[in-house]
Structure formats: structure tokens, C-alpha cells
Structure 1
Amino acid sequence: MATAPAPVPSPFRDPEARPLDPAKFRDPHVTAKGERRASVSLRRLETLWLNTGTLCNLACASCYIESSPRNDALVYLSLAEAEVYLDEAAALGTREIGFTGGEPFMNPDAPAMIAAALARGFEVLVLTNAMRPMRRFEAQLKPLAGPKLTMRVSLDHHSAAVHEAERGAGTWPKALDGLKWLAANGFRVAVAGRRLPGESEVDARAGYARLFAVEGLDLAGGLVLFPPMDVHADVPEITEACWGILHLSPDAMMCASSRMVVKPRGADQPHVVACTLLPYDPQFALGETLAGAAGAVMLNHPHCARFCVLGGASCSG
């Protein structure tokens, strides 16, 4: 009887990191030490994310949303469903619409949703691996190229070996080919990368700069560099006092300016969640309308600390 292959360890997991303390992130209002947990209020809805579904053509070693060719925990958002939120966002003065997944182009309505967002005057950001799902829509995408649309391509590292250790054998040349197709066809292109544990931001940016120079890529959208995001590693809880200690403002956090629309499998209609990183946790579900999703968000999840507060990262453009 055949056995399933062992999971491939992610190169972004730090083997020396302490495991997450199970006593943390249990009470939405109080930390494990009994301190008042920090919260973030929505300052203004600058970016509305539409999650097109969790299906992906890849099964990466580490994916915060667990996307894969088999995970349909979030089902495809339809054009009609998306347009309801696009209209509400337009009325609220939202600047940007982001599309994420899964791989957004697994969803057959993805090009039409992008076109609908552009037609309403939004800036549009699409997160894609630029592989086969995207390439099947070349004819539909070409007319959409312009300064309002940014295609952000995921290259998990500036080296092929690390990228393929995370995303699978053969993914590096396909991603680069898709990236070059976008650049050659007039798209505003950005790259999303990650730092390895122990790799400095200076070294990581230098590595990507060398790669872009070798490949002849001049990316108008630039490079967005994310922290390693080891979901197994311990991380401090964020208290109200942390804003002063870290010299940070809660207004700078992602959930102060963005929300995401998701449609869980079996749901009659989509709903709004606080964060692109937390589509499954019910404590971050905020209702079915954007107007009803304006409440404060308690930072009661490790991602709040490792990605936003301490990692200094944001998914938005």
C-alpha cells in the first residue's frame, strides 16, 4: 500500500525558532500576561480585497491561506457578487481594489472582475503567480493593461533553488516567463518576494536587483518584500502599550485601511473579513456589507504580530 509523501519543509521556516506558546492569542481582549490587547480601528477603506477563491495551481510548502489544487474552502466569487461590493466601495470613496486567491486566474470570472473594477475608476492590484492560469487569459488581459492596473507576481526568492523549494520543481522558469510576458505587453508589473530567516532586507533587495538586471526587467511597480512568516514560530502578543514602545501608530496597520470579501464553501453569499491573512477565523468575520465591517479589530492572532506590527508588512499597493 502506497504512502503519501512526507511534507516538504518550507525554506522560510526557521528551525531554531521557538514554537508558538499555546497560552497566547486565546482571549480577544486580554493577553496571556493579563495585559489589554491592542486593537485597530478602520481609519478609511483605502483598499478592498476580493478573494477569488482558494483554489490554486500550486501547493506551496507554506501558504498562509492553505491554497492548493484541492482547497476550495473559499469558493469562486462571481462577477455579479463582486460588482455589489465594487459599487459599495465606489460609494465609500475606496481607492484600490485588490484581487487575491488562491491564484486569482483559476476563477473564470477574474478578467471580467478586473475590467469591472477598472471601469469604475479604481486602481487595481492583482496578485498572481503568472503561470498557466493567467496565460490562458492573455487575449482578455491585453486590453486592460495601463497605469491603473498593477500585476504583482510572486517570486518567493531571488534564487531559483529557494523559489522552487517553496513552490515546486519547474515553477521558476514558468513564473519568469509570465513576468516577462506581462512586462512585454505593457502591464505595470511588481514582484512580491520574501526574506529567508536570517536574511537581511538589504541582502534580499540586492539579490532581487541582480536578478532583475540579469533578466532585463525594469519593474514600474517595484519590489514588495515580505517577512519570512513562519507560522509555527513564537511571537509576542501586541498590547496597547506596544504602540508607544514600538513607536508605531495603529493607523499604519493593514486593517486600518483595508477589508477583504470572501465566500466560504456552502455559504449563500459572501461576507467581509478584517484581513487578507485571516479568511477562516470567525472572530475576524465582520458581516455582509462594507458599511457593517467598519468596527475595530482586536489583534488576537499571531499573524497580526509577525506580519503587520513587527513585520512591518502590508498586502496593499
Structure 2
Amino acid sequence: MKDLDQGTPGKFLDPARTAKGEPRARVALTNPETLWFNTGTLCNIACVNCYIESSPQNDRLVYLSAADVRDYLAQLEERAWPAREIGFTGGEPFMNPQIIEMLRAALDTGREVLVLTNAMRPMMRKRVREGIAALNADFPGKLTFRISVDHWSARHHDAERGAGAFAKTLEGMDWLRDAGVTMTVAGRTVWGETEAEARAGYARLYAERGYPIDAADPGQTVLFPEMDARVDVPEITTACWGILGKSPDSVMCASSRMVVRRKGADAPAVLACTLLPYDEEFELGTTLQEAERDVALNHPHCAKFCVLGGASCSA
């Protein structure tokens, strides 16, 4: 069931038709360039507005194993997907005890690997740091960490992630900087400032810390819109592509899929979207072949985040 409030009666209920009876937009998997792995929803912190509700207690998505990852990497080759990137997200990926083995398996395919992390204590354990350093040495230029820095100031960042979180993340980023690991940043646009003001703030932070990250580049400093399924947003019809001057190929589900393992499930599942891990409507099967079917844009996130917001989780 979708987490929708009473302000949007009849919306996002029928995968074929909108509340007004118009044909709902669908997106085909036309360019599968990113395969995501959600390593599990457990996290070392609980953020105020985490879209996936990660926390030290949330194990609705349990840990993937390195064997799971290797299986889907083999399927990637069998299906001949032109994937250029393998992504790892959570929860906090470095909570998973097999994360270094998973990253090495992904890097062994020759593809770029992107890890979404808060760069806090799980990443800073000695064994993990040694593993990251070895991977970065063995696969130069192939490994990128996208660090969650909700705001360039400690005040706003800590309001989301807890007192002292900003300082701990910067400690992790300092280590990554000194280890020569490529970093980008993911921030949020919920602070009442313009995009220019936000990017200027990040630029100051990077300059102060010596981080080789471009605050003006939206690929290096990604600013995500708020994802609140209770906010009333328009449904996307087939006519919207022409009205908005957009192509279905620009939407994230045209280019990516995500593998998860649900608690109690016999096998992992493949989802259409990284943002909708709990909605059964967006579960496409257990194999990449099954996941090649198209996706109905039948959720508020499809409209606000992907089509209207133009955001993407990939690098």
C-alpha cells in the first residue's frame, strides 16, 4: 500500500489510468546503465526524513550477501545489459559485513562503482578502511563515494542526522581525501535557500577542507528535492511528455534497477526504483530478465522526484 494522505483521493491507485481517467505514463527499460544493490536497511543513525526509514532497528531489507551480488553480476553479463555502473546503497552499506567483498566483485567486472554512505563510524573501522584503500589501489579511478551531507552547515545537517553527525562525516571525508578516494556529495534542498546559495555554501566547505569536489557540478554535488509522498503532486500521463518537453528515457527507471532482499524472503528481488523499496507494485521479479518489463509511473515520487524534479540516484 502506498503511503498517501487524504489530500489526493483517487490518485496513484490504478497503474493504467490516472484519477481523471487519462492513460498513465509508462517507462521502458531502454538503457540499463546502472544496477543498484541495497545492502540492507540497517544504519548506524536514524535521520528525521530518511525516505527508506533506515535506522539501527530497521531490517525490513536484510543484508545482501556477496554471493547474491555475484549472482546478479553474472546475470548482467548473461542479459548483455550495457551497464556502466554498479551502485551500492542502504541503509548504510558499511554496516554489511561483506561490503568490501561485494565492492571487489563489482569492480572486477571493469565497471565504475558508486557507494552511497554517511562516511561515519561503520566506514571508519580499521578493517573497512584497509579494504577501501586496497580497492582504490587495485582499481584506480573506478571507485566513487557519494557522501550524504544534507547541508553545508553543521546546524542543518545535525538537525536531520543528530548532534555531532556533521563532524563525524567530515572526519570520514578527511580520511577519504587523504586516501585519494574519489568523493561526491548528496545534499538536500529543504532549507529555504536558493540553489546558488546552497552551492556557494558547499563550495566554501570544500575549500576549507581541501575536498576536490566541484560544488557547481550537479553530478558532483547532487541536490535532491524533498521526497514526501503526502504532498499533492500531479499524476504523469502519456501527454505529459510532450507538454513538459521530456522523454521517458530521461526517467531513472529507464536506466536502472535495484536488487534487495526482503526479511523472510527466499530470494532477492529486483525493484524498478531505488526510492520505492517497500511498494510491492514496483517489484518486478527475482531475475534481471523479469525486471526488463516497463514501469507505470504510479507513485508521487515518480512525478515529483523523477519527472518534475529531474533527479537521479546514479552518478
Global fold match (TM > 0.5): yes
What is the Cα deviation at residue 184 of structure 1? 0.8
What is the Cα deviation at residue 119 of structure 1? 1.0
Per the alignment, in what secondary structure is the counterpart of residue 284 of structure 2? coil
1:26–1:300 contact (8 Å) kept in structure 2: yes
What is the Cα deviation at residue 205 of structure 1? 1.3
Distance across 2 between alignment mates of 1:19 and 1:268 = 35
Deviation per CA, 1:171-198, whole angstroms, max 9, x where unpaired? 0000011011111101011111111254
Distance across 1 between alignment mates of 2:190 and 2:284 = 33
Structure 2 matches for 1:11-160, cutoff 5 A?
20-91=7-78, 92=80, 93-136=82-125, 137-145=128-136, 146-160=140-154
Deviates more, 1:247-256 or 1:24-33: 24-33
Per the alignment, in what secondary structure is the counterpart of residue 71 of structure 1? coil
What is the Cα deviation at residue 141 of structure 1? 1.1
Per the alignment, in what secondary structure is the counterpart of residue 145 of structure 2? strand
Q: Which runs of 4+ in 1 moved over 6 A?
A: none
Give 2:261's aligned residue: 263
Alignment of 1:311 onto 2:309: yes
Task: List runs of 5+ in structure 2 lacking aligned partners.
Answer: none
Distance across 1 between alignment mates of 2:245 and 2:255 = 19
Identical aligned residues as a percent:
61
The residue identity in structure 1 corresponding to 2:43 is C
Per the alignment, in what secondary structure is the counterpart of residue 114 of structure 1? helix
What is the Cα deviation at residue 29 of structure 1? 1.0
Give 1:172's aligned residue: 166
Distance across 1 between alignment mates of 2:158 and 2:228 = 17
TM-score for both structures, normalised by structure 2: 0.92
Q: CA RMSD in A?
A: 1.4
2:208 to 196, 205, 214: 214
What is the Cα deviation at residue 44 of structure 1? 2.0
Per the alignment, in what secondary structure is the counterpart of residue 286 of structure 1? strand
Distance across 2 between alignment mates of 1:278 and 1:57 = 21
Aligned residue pairs: how many? 300
What is the Cα deviation at residue 19 of structure 1? 7.4
Task: List runs of 5+ in structure 1 lacking aligned partners.
Answer: 1-17
Deviation per CA, 1:193-251, whole angstroms, max 9, x where unpaired? 11125432222212211211122211277211111223332111111111111111000
Per the alignment, in what secondary structure is the counterpart of residue 225 of structure 1? strand
1:19–1:234 contact (8 Å) kept in structure 2: no
2:157 to 140, 163, 171: 163
Per the alignment, in what secondary structure is the counterpart of residue 146 of structure 2? strand
Distance across 2 between alignment mates of 1:251 and 1:194 = 24
